[in-house]
Amino acid sequence: MSTEVKVVSPAPMTVATPLKDAAAVAARINEKFANAASVVDGSLMVDSSQLVAVATLLRDDPGIGADFLEDLTSIDWPDRFEVVYHLYNLTRQEGPLRMKVRADKADPRVPSTVPVWPGADLMEREVYDMMGITFAGHPNLKRILMWEGFQGHPLRKDWKEAYFEEEKKPFDQRWPEGALVRAENRTPFKDNIVLPSGFDPTKYTPPAEDNVPLVEYNQPLSGEMKSQTLIVNMGPQHPSTHGVFRMRVRLDGERIVDLQPVIGYMHRNHEKIGERNAWLMNMPYTDRLDYLCSMGNNFGYAIAVEKLMPDIKVPERAEYLRVIMAEFTRIVNHFFALGQLLSDMGAFFTPMLYAIEEREWMLDLFEMASGSRMMCNYARFGGVARDVPPEFMPLANKLVNDRLPRAIDRFDDYIATSEIVLARAQNVGILTKEQAIALSTVGPVLRASGVPYDVRRAEPYSIYDRFDFDIPIGTVGDVYDRYLVRIAEMRESVRILKQALRDIPAGEIFAGRKGWQVKIQKGEAYGRIENPKGATGFYVVSDGGTNPYRYHIHAPSFINIGALGTMAKGHTVADTVIILGSVDIVLGELDR
């Protein structure tokens, strides 16, 4: 059996917490910094000129303790931009505190919070790229999803995509009559290109990418011999980068001096599409984020939007079905992730095939429920799309009570004590507890570093407060701990599934009337779930219309990749491959 992993049962956050009381937080800030903060529509509004000082106070004041920046995004209003932060305290398991900073429409810029919350690094770069807001003092402010020569900022309301038709769906020419003329025919491609002013493609030279600090040739890195560093690109066409993902590494011999993730090769402007769509149209699009976890993605989006539908009460049976699908998804994901990790170590595909065999049984269940094995499109606002057939429960019970516990134990027995696995994974890619929190990591990456934070326990959603389960955490924060935590989480998912399958009631599976258009009240909401890769959040803003005014995804793959450089420094190129595998990324949600 495997080396033991710690399990803990932290209490959920209380309703009345310092981070929930924006007025009290604003009063505390104004005691230190006059007129620096106010409360607007329930959010903490901070004066941009005092942002860094206020953020430092929020993090360091023991009465507030906002040590964890989970999400950072922005909104384009007609008269201003707003940068939106969602803050938590992981020790007390409190939050969220929604903080906002306004930026001028003509010259939007706010101070960077990277010095306070290093995890803001990639999130601020995304806002700069997609909204054009400059973060003064950011250590590496450049585009992250688009190429440096791209014209405009795609999430601004005045930006129009190629072959733009209308602002919102359904498009008039397509519905209800359906007299469609393809945009490619209406607008020839050559007349639809927008290039920067004065841009000549024939003379274009890509900007230099090397922003890793150079080390002087005559300055020894190791103290043993003088050497010159070398930059190597791993990816985007590389078998070990788990998709079109690039690691730009600076090497001193075989040792990693610095590593920068380079992403965006699969970017398709998911959030802009989401703001064109009607609310329900986004549900199948969430399948394409982390496409191994579509049931969980559906769940998270439904929870976020339902916060703006106060009259909707999800039926009991639908709540149980959502949980059942989410926990089977966790097992599916972790089997797949660990199989891939072992392939990265060199056990080419034998462990992966063991994992895939078990995954196929659970995909049978997803197909019974939704009609699809991967792109499930199963959740709905107010319930689920359809009930499960009679064959579902017998197979689910057989898997949970017999096959899956044996399969998890067998997989663990084969792998956990392998001398090759121990040599490659132990004390490799260590991320300390303090680093994991500062870098905003989530999910198994965070918990393997010893932080007992799980959204299902910290901020129970749906009916998770009814189930008895523990939170596995690591003690070292290395690749091996990330393996152990995922194995233990599969066992805890089996434990939850046994209770859910035992207690699921009969009854309705949907509240309200089915239709493609739903009424969403004006307001904003941040809904999140503990997806297999970590906290997956949806920040939605409604203007009372039939389409989201703002639709944003907090994607765990995107967040966790920001810690890759910290984990890889000092290790070898071969180690970097398995460190990346232990993070468990999917490009669909990394690039969106």
Which three-class secondary structure state does DSSP give residue 513? Answer: coil
Which has the closest alpha carbon to 417: 363, 462, 484?
A: 484
- Residue position matching structure tokens 């970017």: 267
Homologous superfamily of the 270-591 domain (CATH): Cytochrome-c3 Hydrogenase, chain B (1.10.645.10)
Residues of the chain with pLDDT > 90, as a percent, come to 55
Which has the closest alpha carbon to 584: 335, 389, 276, 305?
A: 335
In whole angstroms, give the CA distance from residue 88 to residue 99: 11
Task: Tell which wins on pLDDT, 150 or 539.
Answer: 539
Beta bridge partners of 83: 74, 101
Return the pLDDT at 189.
Answer: 61
CB atoms within 10 A of CB 311: 9
Q: Which residues, in sequence order, are CB contacts of 405 under 8 Å at separation 6+?
A: 491, 494
CATH of 10-136, one of 3.30.420.40, 3.40.50.720, 3.40.50.300, 3.30.460.80: 3.30.460.80
Return the pLDDT at 2.
Answer: 42
User: pLDDT band at 380, cuts 50/70/90?
Assistant: very high
Return the pLDDT at 559.
Answer: 92
Residue 243, judged by CB atoms within 10 A of its CB (0-12, 13-18, 19+), counts as middle
Q: Which residues, in sequence order, are CB contacts of 66 under 8 Å at separation 6+?
A: 19, 58, 59, 87, 88, 89, 95, 97
Q: What is the pTM of this model?
A: 0.90
User: pLDDT band at 15, cuts 50/70/90?
Assistant: very low
In whole angstroms, give the CA distance from residue 320 to residue 378: 13
CB atoms within 10 A of CB 566: 18
Q: Which of 57-61, 163-167, 203-207, 233-237 has the lowest mean pLDDT?
A: 203-207
Domain boundaries, the chain: 10-136, 230-262, 270-591
* Encoded tokens for 538: 């949806």
In whole angstroms, give the CA distance from residue 381 to residue 358: 30
Task: Tell which wins on pLDDT, 447 or 227.
Answer: 447
**pLDDT above 80 for 186:** no
In whole angstroms, give the CA distance from residue 266 to residue 587: 7
**pLDDT above 50 for 349:** yes
The half-sphere exposure of 161 on its side-chain side, counting CA atoms within 13 A, is: 18
Which has the closest alpha carbon to 296: 136, 160, 461?
A: 461
Q: Which of 18-22, 61-65, 293-297, 446-450 has the lowest mean pLDDT?
A: 18-22
**pLDDT above 80 for 471:** yes
pLDDT in tens, 520-545: 899 999 999 999 999 999 999 999 98
**pLDDT above 90 for 128:** yes
Beta bridge partners of 537: 528, 554
* Encoded tokens for 467: 């189930």
- Residue 197 backbone zone (phi > 0: left; psi -120 to 50: alpha; other: beta): beta
Return the pLDDT at 236.
Answer: 77
Cβ–Cβ < 8 Å for 319, 421? no
Alpha-helix runs per DSSP H in 209-263 = none
**pLDDT above 50 for 337:** yes
Per-residue pLDDT averaged across 291-297, rounded?
A: 90
In whole angstroms, give the CA distance from residue 455 to residue 453: 7
What is the chain's alpha carbon radius of gyration, rounded to the nearest angstrom? 24
Residue 368, judged by CB atoms within 10 A of its CB (0-12, 13-18, 19+), counts as middle
Q: Which of 27-36, 238-247, 295-304, 525-534 has the lowest mean pLDDT?
A: 238-247
User: pLDDT band at 220, cuts 50/70/90?
Assistant: low
Return the pLDDT at 175.
Answer: 75
**pLDDT above 90 for 495:** yes
In whole angstroms, give the CA distance from residue 573 to residue 297: 33
Return the pLDDT at 1.
Answer: 38
Residue 210, judged by CB atoms within 10 A of its CB (0-12, 13-18, 19+), counts as exposed
**pLDDT, mean over the chain:** 87
